[in-house]
Amino acid sequence: MAQVIFAQIRLPLFSVKHPEAFQVMSSLSLPQPSSLVGALAYCIGVSSGKGIKAYSEVLEMVRKGELLAARARLFSTYTETRGEYPLTYSAVVLRRFRIVDKAHETKKRGEVKPIVRLNKAISEKNYVEARRILEVELTDAFYREYTMGFEIICAWIFKKNVVDPKVLWLIQRLGDTESLCSVVKVWSEECPIEVSTDVSTSFLAPADGLVSVKGRGFMLMKISDEARKIRTFVVPCEYSVEKGPRGKYPVMRPSIVELKYSSGVSFCKTKYGDIVLGMVKGGRV
């Protein structure tokens, strides 16, 4: 048996970069395992007062096999009046103040810091120059892609009860700083671990030793696992392009896929679907 902590997350958006993409110009459709490990570490760090030291402790849980996996899946709510809540992508332009970064850059070049010149311009009542420094030199802008939707389900699978489920209520964001979210529900279940070559799941699943995939829809993506190693995962989702009042847009809906592996894999059986842990002979993923 394993302890599975679930968290139902209401977005409305998040941005988790593809590991091999520059900045966050391309966002993943679901939080990768390493992002969920980071979210867990944040919760433990805040609740215990350990701060960023908690991240090393959580990574140690991964290394020792106490934290077996961290996974996410699309969660679709359907009502007769409002229909289905899918996920979609949307790009925005972020404009940010980079005062500290700009100070480091000018220091390397041996130039006067922009903040010093800004203070001088203000003291001399040269407000045109002050505004130019503030709005041009001390800011930058770039595209960032966001995944937008309603809710997702995240799960952390532990070998034994080592984490209080209540700490997950502290999750504030998934991904970058602007990816604010809220926790709707947190609960814990004792779930059996089984071994088989055939698994049916709607959660992210490792593709190591995968022979075939069947289902309504899925994607293969290179993402970071719990130990921050880039691996290929199966992302169950039904992807389509739909036409709306203002044009066409990509849409992702939940999907259940049938996975067949070359040898037995361990998986945790939950009422929200099986969660693949890893190859039995090859060690935990």
Residue 285's pLDDT band, with cuts at 50, 70 and 90, is very low
- Alpha-helical (H) ranges within the chain are 33-48, 53-64, 99-108, 114-123, 127-132
Total domain count, the chain: 2
Q: Does residue 83 sit in the same domain as residue 115?
A: no
Q: Does residue 58 sit in the same domain as residue 176?
A: yes
State the pLDDT at residue 227: 92
Whether residue 29 is contained in a domain is answered as yes
What are the tens digits of pLDDT across the range 4-26? 999 999 888 788 888 877 766 78
Mean pLDDT of 91-110: 74
Strand partners for 220 = 234
Whether residue 15 is contained in a domain is answered as yes
Q: Which own/partner contact pairs does 112-117 have at CB distance under 8 Å and 24+ positions apart? A: 114/138
**Is the alpha carbon torsion for 244, 247, 253, 259 positive or negative?**
positive
Query: What are the tokens at 281?
Result: 């002979």
Residue 251's pLDDT band, with cuts at 50, 70 and 90, is confident
Query: CB of 204 within 8 A of CB of 73?
Result: yes
Whether residue 239 is contained in a domain is answered as yes
Whether residue 32 is contained in a domain is answered as yes
Quick one: 47 exposed, middle or buried, by C-beta within 10 A (0-12, 13-18, 19+)? middle
Which residue, of 110, 137, 164, is where some domain finishes? Answer: 137
Mean pLDDT of the chain: 86
Q: Does residue 267 sit in the same domain as residue 196?
A: yes
Out of 19-28, 30-39, 145-154, 206-215, least confident range: 19-28
Whether residue 235 is contained in a domain is answered as yes
Q: Does residue 152 sit in the same domain as residue 263?
A: yes
As a whole number of angstroms, the distance between CA 60 and CA 54 comes to 10
Residue 94's pLDDT band, with cuts at 50, 70 and 90, is confident
Query: What are the tokens at 192?
Result: 């059996």
Whether residue 77 is contained in a domain is answered as yes
State the pLDDT at residue 43: 96
Query: What are the tokens at 111?
Result: 């130039």
Q: Does residue 117 sit in the same domain as residue 72?
A: no
Which residue has better confidence, 169 or 15? 169
Whether residue 257 is contained in a domain is answered as yes
Whether residue 107 is contained in a domain is answered as yes
As a whole number of angstroms, the distance between CA 31 and CA 42 comes to 15
Q: Does residue 249 sit in the same domain as residue 124?
A: no
Query: CB of 226 within 8 A of CB of 67?
Result: yes
Helices (H) and strands (E) in the chain, counts: 5, 18
Query: What are the tokens at 34?
Result: 């390493």
Q: Does residue 117 sit in the same domain as residue 14?
A: no
Give the structural domain span for 132.
99-137
Nearest one of 96, 91, 78 to 26, comparing CA atoms: 91
State the pLDDT at residue 81: 43
Q: Does residue 184 sit in the same domain as residue 266?
A: yes
Q: Does residue 213 sit in the same domain as residue 130?
A: no
What are the tens digits of pLDDT across the range 47-56? 999 999 999 9
Q: Does residue 226 sit in the same domain as residue 153?
A: yes
166: domain CATH number is 3.30.70.3120
pTM value is 0.81
Q: Does residue 164 sit in the same domain as residue 26?
A: yes
Q: Does residue 25 sit in the same domain as residue 86?
A: yes
